[in-house]
Amino acid sequence: MIDLHGHYLPAVDDGPADLDVSLAMLRYAEGDGIETAVVTPHACSSLCRIKDLELMRRNWQDFLAAVNSSDLQIHIVSGAEVYFTSELLPILKDNRDLLTINNGSYFLLEFPGEYIYAHSKDFIFNILTEGFIPIISHAERNAEIQRSPQVLFDLVKAGALCQVNAGSLRGDFGNQARSCAYELIQGNLVHVIASDAHDLEGRKPELAYVPALLPQVDPEKIALYLHDIPAAVIADQAVPDIGEPLLNQPRRTFFDFFKKRDS
C-alpha cells in the first residue's frame, strides 16, 4: 500500500513533535503494510509551525537522511498539504520540489473546513494550464461538500482529484464525514484513500483496515485507491480511470455498504 497523505515530518506542524515520534510512525506504517509514505506537512497554513519554506526544505533533507540511515524499509517521498490561497500559483512555481508530490505535477490542496471558495473551479482550470494537478485533501470533511456533493463533482469534472481519509470510513471524524465519504465513493468522486496520519494515538498511519470497511466495493477498485493511483501520482503519470463521476445516485447509508451483494 501507498500512503499518499501523512504528516510524518517532525516539528513543522500539528504532526509529530520530534524525530523519534516520526520514525516510530514510519515503523508503525511499515508494520501495517504501507510500503511507501508521502510526507505531506502543512504548507501556507496557520497550522505550520515553520513558515519559511526554505527551512522546511532543509528539515525534509535532514529527515530523509535520518530515515535512510535507519533500519526502516519503508520508502518516503516528498510532498506537502498546501492550503488554498489566491497567491498559490507563484508559490507552487517557486517551490515545486517541496510542495508537489515527488517534484511532479500533483499536489495536495487543502480548503477551509467550512466552505469551498466560489472561484475554486476557475482556479483549478488555471492551475491545470500551468501544469499542476490538485488533489483535494480530505474532501469528505468539508462542510459544504457534505451538504452538496455537487461542489466536489464540479471540481473533479474540472480536472481535480479527490482524497478521503481512511479514518472517515470508520467514523473518526464524525457521522457526517463518514456518510459523505461513502457517498463520494459511490459517486466515483474518490481517487485516493490515505491515512492523513498525525501521531501514534488518535490518527495513526494505518490503511490495512480499509478493505473491510468497503465490502460492496470491488477489490480491484480498492487497490486503485490504496496503491495504483498513488503510484501513478508519485510517478507523475496519468492516473487510472475509476469510472465516470456520478451525481444523484440513490443515497446509501453507511450500513448499506455491509449488505451482501446480489448474486
pLDDT tens readout for residues 150-183: 999 999 999 999 999 999 999 999 999 999 999 9
Cα dist from 138 to 4, 53, 145, 161, 262, whole Å: 12, 23, 11, 11, 31
Q: Beta strand 161-165 with 192-194: parallel, antiparallel or unpaired? A: parallel
**Looking at the domain assignment, is residue 35 inside a domain?**
yes
Total-model pTM = 0.92
**Looking at the domain assignment, is residue 149 inside a domain?**
yes
- For residue 193, what are the β-bridge partners? 164
CB atoms within 10 A of CB 216: 14
Residues of the chain with pLDDT under 70: 46-51, 248-263
Specify whether the CB–CB gap between 79 and 39 falls below 8 A: yes
**Looking at the domain assignment, is residue 109 inside a domain?**
yes
For residues 224 and 27, give the distance between their C-alpha atoms in angstroms, rounded to a whole number: 24
The enclosing domain of 30 has a CATH number of: 3.20.20.140
For residues 183 and 250, give the distance between their C-alpha atoms in angstroms, rounded to a whole number: 9
Specify whether the CB–CB gap between 169 and 182 falls below 8 A: yes
Q: How many domains does the chain have?
A: 1
φ, ψ for residue 82, nearest 5 deg: -95, 120
In this predicted structure, what is the pLDDT of residue 259? 56
For residues 184 and 225, give the distance between their C-alpha atoms in angstroms, rounded to a whole number: 13
In this predicted structure, what is the pLDDT of residue 222? 99
**Looking at the domain assignment, is residue 263 inside a domain?**
no
Distance from CA of residue 69 to its chain's centroid? 27
In this predicted structure, what is the pLDDT of residue 262? 45
**Looking at the domain assignment, is residue 154 inside a domain?**
yes
CB atoms within 10 A of CB 21: 16
Specify whether the CB–CB gap between 254 and 213 falls below 8 A: no
In this predicted structure, what is the pLDDT of residue 49? 63
Only one residue has cell 498513488, namely 230
C-alpha atoms less than 13 angstroms from C-alpha of 11 in its C-beta half-sphere: 10
In this predicted structure, what is the pLDDT of residue 257? 55
> Residue 71 has which C-alpha cell?
533500519
> What is the span of the domain harbouring residue 29?
2-258
